[in-house]
Amino acid sequence: MRYVIVFIILFINWVIWSGLLDLFHLSLGVISCLIVTFMSHDLLFKRKTFKWSDISEAFRFFAYIPWLLYQIILSNIHVAKIVLKPEMPIDPDIVPYQHKLKKDISITTFANSIILTPGTITALIVDDKFYVHCLDKKVAEDLLTGEMEQRVAKVFGEDK
């Protein structure tokens, strides 16, 4: 079952990227997708069994993206304002942040989201601590409220 799903995903990708629908290219695609499926089917899905919560997780993740885009636009306006002001009002500092996430994927998403939101970048990750470089005190306080961590935890079903 896992083989079939991986093969279908790979083949859809092949068709999108090649864009040619004649017999020669499609059969080349089938052959190469079969080889790749055979060799690396365990990379895409770690678990053998399928859970319905995976699908709802994917939907919640897509619902998270618009909020993230909004935050990215805010953060770019924030950086642009700071950079274009002649006196450059910054007060940078590195702040430790303790998180409670467990899954690898949610930690990755959270770290990437921190980088994309206003004035913060994840500089170092040690076990369950992020060291976050903040551009000024206000964004550090915004981060320490933990609003974004709750959103990420909700997306990946860790908010129990």
Partner 1 sequence: MSILEIISIILILGGLFFFFTATVGLIRMPDYYCRMQATGKGDTLGAVLCLSGLALYNLDSGLSFANIIVSIKIMFIAIFIFIANPTATHAISKAGIDCEVKPWTKKKEVQS
Q: Where on the chain is the footprint of partner 1 (CB under 8 A)?
A: 16-17, 19, 72-73, 75-76, 79-80, 82-84, 88, 90-94, 111-112, 115-116, 119, 121-125, 131, 133, 135
CB-based burial, 70-105: b 16+ in 10 Å, e otherwise: eeeeebeebeeebeeeeeeeeeeeebebebebeeee
3-state helix, strand, coil in the chain (%, to 5): 65, 10, 25
CA 17, chain centre distance (Å) = 23
Helix (H, G, I), strand (E, B) or coil at 72: helix
Q: How far apart are CB 160 and partner 1 at their closest, in Å?
A: 28
Min dist CB 120 to partner 1, Å, is 8
DSSP E strand boundaries for the chain: 93-98, 120-126, 129-134
**Based on CB atoms, which residue is closest to partner 1, 76 or 150?**
76
Rank residues 4 and 123 by Cβ distance to partner 1 and give the closer one.
123
Of 9 and 121, nearer to partner 1 (C-beta) is 121
Q: How far is the CB of 47 from partner 1 (least distance, A)?
A: 22
Decide whether 37 or 117 has the Cβ nearer to partner 1: 117
Q: Under a CB-based contact definition with an 8 Å cutoff, are residues 12 and 37 in contact?
A: no
Q: How far is the CB of 52 from partner 1 (least distance, A)?
A: 26
Shortest spacing between CB 41 and partner 1, in angstroms: 22
Nearer to partner 1 by C-beta: 135 or 143?
Answer: 135
Q: Give the torsion through C-alpha atoms of 130, 107, 114, 120, to 10 deg.
A: 10
